[in-house]
Amino acid sequence: MTVTGGNRHDSTQLIPLVEALPTIRGKRGRPWQRPRWLYGDRAYDYEHHRKALRERGIIPRIARRNTGHGSGLGKVRWVVERTFAWLHQYKRLRTRYERRADIHLGLLRLGCVLICYRQLPTSF
């Protein structure tokens, strides 16, 4: 997670977020350093983002601008939208009242912890 100013475009943080991803663990053998695919909406449809992702060995699955809907990204994007809806149940995260970014980031992390805590009993 990163916090930026309210007037910054989201796409400026794509590459720094990809660089900050931890090693992906799971199966035996050498762990993956990067994900295989990156899904994004039309806001991230820039050729320099696609090129930077391909250089890192990530296949970009980004919807194209000026095309009709129905690209199929909704099958995986709903997870992100659902998470935003869960975070917006906390009023201080819905509208940013804090001036300091570290306080807002702390509240955002606390909201994520509470969401995960509530999901644990139903995941077994």
**What's the pLDDT score for residue 124?**
67
Is 88 inside a domain boundary? Answer: no
The residue written with tokens 């993956």 in the block is: 32
Range of the domain at 46: 1-71
Q: Is residue 33 part of a domain?
A: yes
Query: What confidence score (pLDDT) does residue 111 get?
Result: 92
Is there a domain that residue 105 lies in? no
Give the pLDDT confidence score for residue 71 in this predicted structure. 61
Angle, helices 74-87 vs 101-119, to 10°: value is: 110
pLDDT value of residue 55 = 92
Pairing state of beta strands 59-62 and 37-40?
parallel
- Reading the chain (124 residues) residue by residue, the pLDDT tens digits are 777 777 777 778 888 888 888 877 777 777 677 788 888 878 888 899 999 999 988 888 888 887 777 666 667 777 778 888 888 888 888 887 888 888 888 999 999 999 889 888 876 6
* The pLDDT value given to residue 50: 92
- pTM: predicted TM-score of the whole model, two decimal places: 0.69
User: What is the number of structural domains in the chain?
Assistant: 1
- The span from the CA of 58 to the CA of 107, in Å, is 31
Is 66 part of any domain? yes
Q: How far apart are CA 56 and CA 51, in angstroms?
A: 9
In a domain, 58, yes or no: yes
Assigned domain for 9 exists: yes
